[in-house]
Structure 1
Amino acid sequence: MQDPIMTPFRGGPVRYCRPNLRRSTLNFLRVLSVVFALTVLTTSVAPLRAEERASIVRVPPAYPEMAKRMHITGTVKVVVTVDAAGSVLRAESDSGNKMLAPAAIDAVKHWKFAPGDGNATVVVQVNFGL
């Protein structure tokens, strides 16, 4: 092994690390600073997310007549975009029976949610039963 490089500095010798060790330390510090920056960015205050927006006013869905006759029941998941005031901007069906989905979307468009900071995406379930 080689000895550390001896370099005079202000009247006396100072030991420096080997150049490749110094480079790897700098790379480690760069990676560490990026990880720290990403941690700070992802833990900053964010607007309310789907699970955090409670519905204040729920309008019950109108059961489609054809679905009643066919004894179709089930749950429809609706993805709702809510503005800062709690009003519904957009609603679309995510899963569930295709005959029940339009009635669920129409009902959810009349719902009101808790106000929050900015827009939020909320997933709600609308149950249909006879």
Structure 2
Amino acid sequence: MFITEVCRNRCASRPSQALRGVVICLSFLTASIHPTLHAQKIEKVERKLIRKVTPDYPWDLKRASIGGMVRLDVVVSPGGSVNDVSVVGGNPILADCAVRAVKKWKYSPADTETNVRVNVSFDPHR
């Protein structure tokens, strides 16, 4: 309350500086109401793939020369196991095969849970 009384007195005694006083008062009040935001440094953790399971390639798709890339977002636990897999893009049948395989992958341990983008390629000519 002390700041608002000082501002009120200053504005009343010097009408020509009233606007400046209001701006100063509002800046003090705004600074006291809104918390200061601090940026937090986020470290990018590289996770080494320890065990990779190759996805099954459906025979009928391979025979029909249907292939492509499946993009997945993978959540890896601190212990290295795969907690969650989300399909970002790709053929739905191939994506299902990729998800089943990636859920069996194992990564190196880390201090925190990590998000990893994984691309799984299906080449019918291999």
Among all aligned residue pairs of Structure 1 and Structure 2, give the percentage whose two residues are the same amino acid: 29
Partner residue of 2:74 out of 48, 67, 80: 80
3-state SS in 2 of match to 1:122 = strand
Map of 2:57 onto structure 1: 63
Relative to the length of structure 2, the TM-score reads 0.68
Distance apart, 1:128 and its partner CA = 1.0
Judging by fraction of residues, say which structure has more helix: 2
Question: 2:47, 2:110 within 8 Å by CA — same for their partners in 1?
Answer: no
Map of 2:46 onto structure 1: 53
Question: 1:80, 1:124 within 8 Å by CA — same for their partners in 2?
Answer: yes
Inter-CA distance 117–26: structure 2 relative to 1 (3 Å threshold):
farther
Runs of 4+, deviation exceeding 6 Å:
none
Distance apart, 1:63 and its partner CA = 1.5
Name the Cα RMSD after superposition. 3.1
Inter-CA distance 25–117: structure 2 relative to 1 (3 Å threshold):
farther
The separation in 2 between residues aligned to 1:34 and 1:127, in whole angstroms, is: 49
Inter-CA distance 114–45: structure 2 relative to 1 (3 Å threshold):
farther
Question: 1:47, 1:118 within 8 Å by CA — same for their partners in 2?
Answer: no
The separation in 1 between residues aligned to 2:108 and 2:55, in whole angstroms, is: 20
The separation in 1 between residues aligned to 2:102 and 2:27, in whole angstroms, is: 51
String of CA shifts for 1:73-130, please: whole Å, max 9, x gaps: 1100112111122210111222101121111111111222343333232221111112
Q: AA paired with 1:66? A: D
Map of 1:25 onto structure 2: 24
3-state SS in 2 of match to 1:123 = strand
Map of 2:104 onto structure 1: 110
> How many corresponding residue pairs?
112
